[in-house]
Structure 1
Amino acid sequence: MTIDHNSSLGMMPAKAIIGYLREIGDDDAADALSQSGPGGQMLGLNWGNEVWGNTGMLLGFITPMEGDNPGTILNASTLAPDSALKGTRIKITLDRFYVHRFPGRGRHKILMEFTGKNQIHGDAEELRFALTTESGDKAGAPVHGTPIFLGASVGNNGISFEGNIINVESDQDETLLSALGSGPFKQGLSLLTTAQPALRPFVGLAQSVVAAVLKRSRNKPIYSFKLGLDFDTSQTAAKLRHGSFVVIQGDEASWSWHDVRWNADSQQIVNNYDNLPIELNYLIFRVSAYDAAELPQ
């Protein structure tokens, strides 16, 4: 299934959001978000520190370590595209998932799904990968270099894929989610089914697991994004090249990449003025070359 961006928690009506927080036992967040006017009328939400309510996307690119300003993060729209990648195969890995704040209390169980389309042998096929992880607030999830898409084809118009981050609060889904820990999912091989037909059932399994999890009221999509990287030289287009891309759940109106940098020692995005981690949820994807020799002939 494809998750509608409008189904993310931050897009829901105020009463529905507060009701969900009450259902999962996060009464402190529900109280903080509640604002009542005359007669108890709901006035809207005061998001405060609840950054999971952001519905926008900030896309940056971490520059290589060499140079005078290591760790500089650029707006991905200001990059120069690498046209040499047209017609090649790439590997996309999830290198970092940082949780500043998620709904609920204690450690958060999180389901992540990534989908897209791949052109191979002239046919379009579905790309789908799902994984589960856990994280507390103000911490990084235990994912690093996790393969998402291996050997994805780069067309003349670049690549695109979607990501969905789901907060799993239902204890009944433990057995269901364990299916995503099987070998093919851990290895990031749930794609290229034309080249590897044996993997096709695992693509369907990932889709079924995500659909089943979302049927429970205690499980909600927290963030959904659509990422497209191409070769257009426009100032508004995100460019494709090898390297690490940052996807931040945030609002463009109050953001400047000049205010932050990548701290390689702590493996975090930090503020320039105090060296403390930014107070936003974010993911880091790495695009790199894929060795064609690893593909079956």
Structure 2
Amino acid sequence: MPQTVFDSSLSLGSRDDNAIAQYLMSIDDAEGARRILAQSPGGQGFLLSGGAYKCSGFTLGFIEPPAVDDVKLPIRAASMVQADHSLISQRIKISLDKFFVHAYPGSGEHTILCEFAGKNQVEGEVEELRFALRTKVRDNASASISGHPIFLGVTVGSNGISFEGRAINVANTLDDTVLSALDSAAFKSGLSLMATAQPALKPFAGLAASVVKATLDRKKNVQVHNFNLGLDFGGNASSVRLRVGSYVVVQTDNHSWDWNAYHWDRNTLSLQAKEGSAPNVNYMVFGVTKFESPTQP
């Protein structure tokens, strides 16, 4: 299987301003390059003008499943939630419920390739999981994704699960043919897992990795963001626990991010500030639910 690396140092935001500007010029985004070069050192002006993709870090929030019909749901730092130990050895479903783009490199409609990886623990074996999807979205808009299944039936180990993801800006139009492999019914329906080891899973995961690698090998395509979530059952103050609910991954380098200043709006299915305008950030929301096997006719 081709090895694709989930590494934040590969993200566009890890480059210096000149290198970022050069990339933007290569994809005909002269205005974005101008803003990058014109920003003051250490200033936040560029982020306010649409440079959310310049961040290479992330912060993680958690939304409890609503018990009532509340519209505005509180968001807590994911490190503050309690683990649900009843999920050990159970099967869960992970879905991409929201992908909002405040700003991405280039102009007009962006083509974005998302890759996700994890592990499935069955019969004493660990299966490597890879899933990829592509979407098209403009700045200040949400991708046409809602509850898109990624992994269905992941068996949770005693140490929890690991879940990685990244988003790649696809600016090379020649990649439509390569990416068309992701339009098959198998990819669109998510990676369905069984309670037993699946020999066919490895080549399927290999195909996803091959598509991503081939896309990244082209000069005009670049990783914009990367995250690595270790959802466990420990009690460390620095770790994140696993439970049923929604995990909000915000692309930001703001180390003083305060989740108390935000809530989740169920009417618009969006991250909103309690006061003022919505934050100028890119973000994804992942749902974790208990997996229910399809009933046999």
Q: Under a length normalisation based on structure 2, what TM-score does the superposition of the two structures give?
A: 0.91
List gaps (5 residues or longer) in structure 2.
none
Partner of 1:5: 8
Partner of 1:127: 129
Q: What is the CA RMSD across the aligned residues, in angstroms?
A: 2.3
Partner of 1:19: 22
Residues 126 and 191 in structure 1, CA contact (< 8 A), matched pair in contact too: no
Q: Classify the secondary structure of the residue corresponding to 2:225.
A: strand
Q: Classify the secondary structure of the residue corresponding to 1:247.
A: strand
Q: CA deviation at 1:197?
A: 3.0
Q: Indicate the percent of aligned positions where both proteins have the same amino acid.
A: 44
Q: CA deviation at 1:190?
A: 6.4
Partner of 1:110: 112
Partner of 1:204: 206
Q: CA deviation at 1:162?
A: 0.9
Residues 230 and 238 in structure 1, CA contact (< 8 A), matched pair in contact too: yes
Residues 8 and 57 in structure 2, CA contact (< 8 A), matched pair in contact too: no
Q: CA deviation at 1:254?
A: 3.0
Q: Take 2:24 and 2:43, find their aligned partners in 1: how far apart are those partners?
A: 13
Deviations, residues 184-207 of structure 1 (Å, cap 9, x unaligned): 101112655963433432211111
List gaps (5 residues or longer) in structure 1.
38-42
Partner of 1:145: 147
Q: CA deviation at 1:15?
A: 2.1
Q: Under a length normalisation based on structure 1, what TM-score does the superposition of the two structures give?
A: 0.91
- Aligned in 2, Cα 1:155/1:106: closer, same or farther, shift over 3 Å? same
1:279 aligned onto 2:284: no
Residues 190 and 203 in structure 1, CA contact (< 8 A), matched pair in contact too: no
Q: Take 1:233 and 1:261, find their aligned partners in 2: how far apart are those partners?
A: 25
Q: Take 2:177 and 2:93, find their aligned partners in 1: how far apart are those partners?
A: 30
Partner of 2:245: 243
Q: CA deviation at 1:60?
A: 0.5
- Aligned in 2, Cα 1:45/1:180: closer, same or farther, shift over 3 Å? farther
Letter paired with 1:113: E
Letter paired with 1:258: N
Q: Take 1:110 and 1:192, find their aligned partners in 2: how far apart are those partners?
A: 29
Letter paired with 2:291: Y
Q: Classify the secondary structure of the residue corresponding to 2:264.
A: strand
> Which deviates more, 63-72 or 260-269?
63-72
Deviations, residues 84-125 of structure 1 (Å, cap 9, x unaligned): 111111110000000000010001000000012221111111
- Aligned in 2, Cα 1:236/1:69: closer, same or farther, shift over 3 Å? farther
> Which deviates more, 62-71 or 285-294?
62-71
1:229 aligned onto 2:231: yes
